[in-house]
Structure formats: structure tokens, C-alpha cells
Homo-oligomer: A and B are copies of this chain.
Amino acid sequence: MLDVCLPGTGGVLPLENRWLTCCWVEYQGKAILIDCGEGTQIALKKAGCKLSRLDVLLITHFHADHIAGLPGLLLTLGNTGKTTPLIIAGPVGLERVVSALTAIVPVQPYPIDLVELKGDRAEKLKKSEMEISCLPLRHGMPCLGYRIAIKRKPIFNPFKAQQLEIPKPLYETLHAGQAIQLEDGRVIEPNMVLDGVRDPIQVCYCTDTQPIDEISDFARGADLLICEGMYGDDTLHNKMKEKGHMVFSDSAQIAKKAGVKQLWLTHYSPAMANPEQYLDEARKIFPQTVAAHDGICTTLGNSKD
């Protein structure tokens, strides 16, 4: 199962009551963080995300509200006792920006692996069971959306296994895709007890961007789409589009087209104090829309995934 949390949901600048947009995705004790604006390290602590588990930091783009917290995050991460590598991935230009911001960060006890992503659809970053894909967004500077997918084991059919008189302790090996040989000499292939594949668990994170068709394709069938909603007010659609942003209804349209299970809105303008008030309109387009708030969490999949 995949834990997803938004420790912050604000855009532009950190507020007293709203941290900057970021996303924490944790699977089997390893975590991915998307973006780290000023104060993200505090937001993570407040949301109960354990920084020591951080393995991959994905940067969407190089606006300060998405990356200015990097020096502090790297230093505090060093104090957690981490010694394994931290992957930092982001758009082309990442090395230049990270090198600049770390001018005030001494060498840490963990190595940093920088990965510049060209935004190619075929480009994937694998981290244990987690597969990360990216999509170029439209924001006036190189900006990437991310999809994190966890492959799920195929469906195991215990009736087939019983009919073949396979001892129960061997079920897990077969479920994991390995053939076994029984004491009576029979060789059992996994496909003899499996009932077909299941969709991966998928979460998509797309901010900051104009509404573009490619997001629907990218997020197709995701369990959760986290998408920007700079404003709820539809009349700001054109103005936001010009600035490389979206309003709630844009995200709701994308979620509907993508057929995702749920949509979380985030990256609110500091001028929008109460995102909830615009939610009804967005839900008319896509009913499973949630106006996310700092600290919102969910678990996707079940304990066996």
C-alpha cells in the first residue's frame, strides 16, 4: 500500500496557516518527496512524515516556492543519520540550480545523485518497487508533472492451488512469480495458480501548468490525481492560463477525462483563503474532487500491495 500526504497546499509564498505545495509518497518505508519550498521541512514534521525515510526528491520546476527549501532540507536530512544516497531528479537545469542553492550546504553524510529528466515519456526512474514517470507541463519554464506507480502482484487463486494440492507455505513463492517443484516431482508454474494481472497503484502530481490535454493521458486511470487549482473562481480561467496556471474547473475537467478515482486540488493562491467555497462547482464536473488541506493523507491499495 502506498501512503500519500500533502504537507503543504499553498502556492507563491508560505503563509502562517498554509505551507507551500509539496507531496510525500511512502512505500515500504521508503519515501519520495515532490518539491520543497521554504518551510517544507517544518510542514513534513507537522504532517508526521519521517524525513529519515526520504530516498528520492522530485523537483517540478525551479520557481522558489517549489525549491527554496532545499538547503535546509538537505541539512536536516543529514542530521537524521541518513548515509544512503538521495536521488534528486528534476528538469534540465537541475544541476545548475542545486549547485547554486547548496553553496551554503557543507558536504553531508549521504551522497546526492542528480538526475536531469528531459521530460521524455519513455523516461522512467525506478526506485525499488516504485516507478516514476514524468510529463512536460506548460508553465513558462521547464516544468514536469510526475506519476508514481507501484506494480501490484497478480491475483492469486487459492482454489486452483488447492486443486493442485500445493502446500500453503509455497503460495507466496508462486504469487511472487517463481515456479516451484513439489516433493512428488511436479513443477508448478505461477500461471497455473494466478488469475491475471492487476493495475498498478498510481498517483499523479501535476503543478504548475496551463491546462493541457497531455495531463489526461498521463493520469489515465490513476488512483489519485493531485492537480493545481490556483483559484476556484472560473472567471479567472483566462488570466490563470496566461500565467501558466489552472482554476478548479480546469483540473476537474482533466480528472474527468482521465477517469481517475479521485482528484485533490492544491497550490492555492495566497489570495484564496477558503478553497472549500468553490468546491461545489468543481464537483459538478468531477464529483470525486477534494479541496486538499495541509496534512491531508490517504492510503492507496491494501496491506498486501
Pick from B37, B76, B79, B103: contact of A101, CB under 8 Å: B103
Within 8 A of B (CB), among A61-80: 62-65, 67-69, 71-72, 75-76, 79
Look across to chain B and name the residue whose beta carbon is closest to the beta carbon of A96: B103
- For the complex formed, measure the closest distance between the CB of A21 and the CB atoms of chain B, giving whole angstroms: 14
Report the bound CA distance from A184 to B246 in whole Å: 76
Pick from B15, B42, B46, B64: contact of A71, CB under 8 Å: B64
- For the complex formed, measure the closest distance between the CB of A295 and the CB atoms of chain B, giving whole angstroms: 12
- For the complex formed, measure the closest distance between the CB of A22 and the CB atoms of chain B, giving whole angstroms: 14
Counting CB contacts under 8 A, is A38 at the interface? yes
Q: Is the CB of B71 within 8 A of A68?
A: yes
Pick from B62, B72, B100: contact of A64, CB under 8 Å: B72
Within 8 A of B (CB), among A1-40: 13-16, 37-39
Counting CB contacts under 8 A, is A97 at the interface? yes
Instruction: Please classify the interface of chain A as helix (H, G, I), strand (E, B), loop, or mixed, using the class held by over half of its residues.
Output: helix
Given known A62-B104, A68-B72, A72-B64, contact A42–B39 (CB-CB < 8 A): yes
Q: Determine the chain B residues whose CB is within 8 A of the CB of A104 once the complex forms.
A: 62-64, 67-68, 97, 100-101
Given known A38-B69, A72-B68, contact A46–B16 (CB-CB < 8 A): yes
Q: How many copies does the complex hold?
A: 2
Report the bound CA distance from A67 to B75 in whole Å: 13
Counting CB contacts under 8 A, is A45 at the interface? yes
Q: Is the CB of A41 within 8 A of B41?
A: no
Within 8 A of B (CB), among A51-91: 62-65, 67-69, 71-72, 75-76, 79
Counting CB contacts under 8 A, is A105 at the interface? yes
| Contact indicator per residue, chain A 100-136, by CB within 8 Å of chain B (1) or not (0) | 1101110000000000000000000000000000000
Q: Is the CB of B41 within 8 A of A13?
A: yes
Look across to chain B and name the residue whose beta carbon is closest to the beta carbon of A74: B64
Given A68-B68, A68-B72, A68-B104, 4 other A-B residues pairs in contact with their CB atoms under 8 A: A16-B45, A16-B46, A38-B69, A64-B104
List residues of chain A with CB under 8 Å of any chain B CB.
13-16, 37-39, 41-42, 45-46, 62-65, 67-69, 71-72, 75-76, 79, 96-97, 100-101, 103-105
10 tightest A-B CB contacts, nearest first: A100-B103, A38-B72, A100-B100, A68-B71, A64-B71, A64-B104, A39-B39, A68-B72, A13-B76, A14-B42
Sample (14) of A-B pairs whose CB atoms are under 8 Å apart: A13-B75, A14-B39, A14-B41, A16-B46, A37-B72, A38-B71, A39-B39, A39-B42, A63-B104, A64-B71, A64-B75, A64-B105, A68-B69, A100-B101
